[in-house]
Structure 1
Amino acid sequence: FSPRPQEEEEDDASTSCGTGDDDDDGEPKICRACGDKATGYHFNAMTCEGCKGFFRRAIKRNLRLSCPFQNSCVINRNNRRHCQACRLKKCLDIGMKKELIMSDEAVEQRRALIKKKQQLCQPSPGLLTSTFTEEQRKLVTDLLDAHNKTFDFNFVHFRNFRVIVGRDLWLSQNSSTEHYPKTSVVCPHDFWHTAVDSSYSLETARGCAWDSSSKEYLMLPHISDLISYMIKGVIDFAKVIPYFRNLSIEDQIALLKGSSIELCIIRFNMVFNVEKRIWECGSNTYSFDDLILAGYRIPFLEPLIHFHCMLKKLKLHKEEYVLMEALSLFSGDRPGVCENQVIDGVQEFFAMTLMAYIETQRAPSQENRFLFAKIMECVTELRTMNEEHSKQILHIWDIQPDSTPLLKEVFSAFSD
């Protein structure tokens, strides 16, 4: 029986089944065979990994061992390989039992059982489902249908808005955002001619519902109309969803008040041009400067632009966009919500559907591996954007009270 140093220290915990584990009381454990650091009870005795492996191999090979000296060798950590006969005798003397050694077949069965248990306890990171059920498929189809019916992607029906007077002249003389590209808001043909003709001038605009003498708010009426138009689409979107219609009227109102701006931001992202950093709303385009002219401040606008760039670069499918809208809509912690658990349960189902969609409908890649986590991060970030946007709106109204009745209703929850 020749020593095999490369196997001497091997660890195969599966072969020490049935011997029990040592209680961890903080005290160092010593191998009773050689004095090395012990790892627990193996084959009924406290031993190190080396002696455990040695005992198993010696018994399984059933070889006759003899001591070249007087069968009285001292076995310790440094010389335990010098006399295997005395080492085996020491193992038996401390109570190691050969009947506790498992057969090769039993070892393989145990290893397979351990592996199966580990797989059950440790699912793939980030994705907890591997199938896209028929119920989830129908949900995505219904959400897509609701989205397509309520989102005017080309803004062809955005018509009855207040026109913008004097904006281009102001921008040509006052530009505080030179690092952002400038674009003009192109009004529909009939409105633009009305504004250009002498019959509709800057003087005429002073008679409207806003104070145009404050050039800083030239875009405020138009942006208010634009946001109101988007919110109307969001309300229609929610009303088409069965899960939403099943809620009480009070909860429906609370969810819409709390999430409308978040859903608008998601929809605006679908028309956001990352390269030009503008929102392409059909024949109208809006830039960083336009929002400044509506009264928004740069400390809010820069994170807003960053968010839109971050979300747009995920290259989401329309299905993922609509599921993101649904996740934002169904948030049980909105102010005024009563059926929190019901709403949270619906939101969880939407989240599981999003995970299943990503796993089954996207090609496996490093980029897609963490897509669900990135989308959920964006959903969380939307809450911050919503709160900051509401503060901006309320601040603007304190200085320049101009808004639509719908906007006042939506933001009433934040002004209470």
Structure 2
Amino acid sequence: DELCVVCGDKATGYHYRCITCEGCKGFFRRTIQKNLHPTYSCKYEGKCVIDKVTRNQCQECRFKKCTYVGMATDLVLDDSKRLAKRKLIEENREKRRRDELQKTVITRPEPSTEEWVLIHVVTEAHMATNAQGSHWKQKRKFLPEDIGQAPIVNAPENGKVDLEAFSQFTKIITPAITRVVDFAKKLPMFCELPCEDQIILLKGCCMEIMSLRAAVRYDAESQTLTLNGEMAVTRDQLKNGGLGVVSDAIFDLGVSLSTFNLDDTEVALLQAVLLMSSDRPGLRSVERIEKFQEGFLLAFEHYI
């Protein structure tokens, strides 16, 4: 290990052109910045031995040794220069950060021609089967506040259900399922699969896609989700209407997704990813479905 050329303590690096410890570096810097050396005086005619034990006993001899070994006074910055240097360092750091960010944006792959075709097909399928489209906020109807606020009828597994809320939800569940099926059938790669696999995929993804479609229509102001593009419900109404703890998961997803402000294409691609889940039990065309899902994932990654 290197030793401080002033006091012999363990050195921490080059400071003001000399290898020194932190203590001698700080002492030298303070002395110059505050112009203290004229006030220093030695009691022993300037003949003190400076080491790590005695260095604090005589400031004059310590400073003399600093200059004797070659520590450069001109390298010590005053307050204004030090602040200017710090500002310059921060500006350079920020510039490097912006450059790195710009480089990331520039090097991020754009969707290929084939992926743009896929994106167009999926987006069109979603738009054609997404109730009320972008006008859902204007067309939604809020479920009356007195419906679904408290569970009133016993249900299996020690649950309770508000029958009026349950009745309202059952009216929209069939059209919501039909829209998911229509979405899938508008994707050529889905239609290429055997009927058995189509049925398995739809059974597996139907609730997931309906939940996603509801979640992206979370409204923070009213704290509601809009189901099937028409019925706005609160967390308690959804829970007491028969969905139980699942309602919390859908609402929590809605809160999370609201920060991303997903567009229709991003939602469409996410739905396609959910649809083409190759891990559904009983599938025959696992590899093909896996390949389809990978294509949607890559298109999503390159699109965002």
What interval of TM-score do these two structures reach, taking the shorter chain for normalisation? 0.5 to 0.7
Pick aligned residue for 2:175 from 215, 226, 229: 229
- The correspondence of residues 192-341 of structure 1 with structure 2, limited to 5 A, is 216-280=162-226, 284-297=231-244, 299-341=245-287
Quick one: which amino acid aligns to residue 113 of structure 2? E
Quote the offset at 1:216 in angstroms: 2.6
Q: Give CA-to-partner distance per residue, 1:229-254, whole Å, 9 cap, x none.
A: 11100000100100000000000000
CA spacing shift, 1:336–1:238, aligned 2, 3 Å:
same
**1:145 matches 2:124:** yes
The 3-state SS of whatever aligns with 2:205 is helix
CA distance in 1, matches of 2:198, 2:188: 12
The 3-state SS of whatever aligns with 1:280 is strand
Quick one: which amino acid aligns to residue 226 of structure 2? E
Pick aligned residue for 1:342 from 288, 293, 304: 288
CA spacing shift, 1:239–1:145, aligned 2, 3 Å:
same
The 3-state SS of whatever aligns with 1:219 is helix
CA distance in 2, matches of 1:169, 1:342: 46
The 3-state SS of whatever aligns with 1:168 is coil
Would the aligned equivalents of 2:209 and 2:274 in 1 still touch at CA under 8 Å? yes
Would the aligned equivalents of 1:218 and 1:293 in 2 still touch at CA under 8 Å? no
Quick one: which amino acid aligns to residue 241 of structure 2? A
The 3-state SS of whatever aligns with 1:285 is strand
The 3-state SS of whatever aligns with 1:275 is coil
Quote the offset at 1:133 in angstroms: 0.8
The 3-state SS of whatever aligns with 1:132 is coil
The 3-state SS of whatever aligns with 2:241 is coil
- Alignment: residue pair count: 187
CA distance in 1, matches of 2:178, 2:191: 16
Would the aligned equivalents of 1:219 and 1:293 in 2 still touch at CA under 8 Å? yes
The 3-state SS of whatever aligns with 1:356 is helix
Quick one: which amino acid aligns to residue 271 of structure 1? R
Q: TM-score, normalised by structure 1?
A: 0.41
CA spacing shift, 1:225–1:313, aligned 2, 3 Å:
same
Would the aligned equivalents of 1:146 and 1:237 in 2 still touch at CA under 8 Å? yes
CA spacing shift, 1:168–1:345, aligned 2, 3 Å:
same
The 3-state SS of whatever aligns with 1:331 is coil
Quote the offset at 1:308 in angstroms: 1.3
Quote the offset at 1:224 in angstroms: 2.0
Quick one: which amino acid aligns to residue 130 of structure 2? F
Q: Give CA-to-partner distance per residue, 1:159-212, whole Å, 9 cap, x none.
A: xxxxx9x972774xx599xxxxxxxxxxxxxxxxxxxxxxxxxxxxxxxxxxxx
Match of 1:136 in 2: 115
Quick one: which amino acid aligns to residue 168 of structure 1? D
Would the aligned equivalents of 2:108 and 2:302 in 1 still touch at CA under 8 Å? yes
Would the aligned equivalents of 1:129 and 1:355 in 2 still touch at CA under 8 Å? no
Would the aligned equivalents of 1:216 and 1:294 in 2 still touch at CA under 8 Å? yes
CA spacing shift, 1:337–1:257, aligned 2, 3 Å:
same
Q: Relative to structure 2, which stretch is displaced further, 304-313 or 349-358?
A: 304-313
For structure 2, the 5+ residue unaligned runs are 1-102, 136-142, 153-159
CA spacing shift, 1:342–1:154, aligned 2, 3 Å:
closer
- The correspondence of residues 68-217 of structure 1 with structure 2, limited to 5 A, is 130-153=109-132, 168=146, 171=149, 174=150, 216-217=162-163
Q: TM-score, normalised by structure 2?
A: 0.55
The 3-state SS of whatever aligns with 1:324 is helix
Match of 2:14 in 1: none
Quote the offset at 1:313 in angstroms: 1.5
Quote the offset at 1:328 in angstroms: 0.3
Quote the offset at 1:286 in angstroms: 1.2
Quote the offset at 1:336 in angstroms: 1.9
Quote the offset at 1:314 in angstroms: 1.3
Quote the offset at 1:271 in angstroms: 2.1
The 3-state SS of whatever aligns with 1:350 is helix
Q: Give CA-to-partner distance per residue, 1:342-377, whole Å, 9 cap, x none.
A: 10011011111111112xxxxxxxxxxxxxxxxxxx
The 3-state SS of whatever aligns with 2:297 is helix
Would the aligned equivalents of 1:167 and 1:219 in 2 still touch at CA under 8 Å? no
Q: Relative to structure 2, which stretch is displaced further, 307-316 or 254-263?
A: 307-316
CA spacing shift, 1:354–1:168, aligned 2, 3 Å:
same
The 3-state SS of whatever aligns with 1:279 is strand
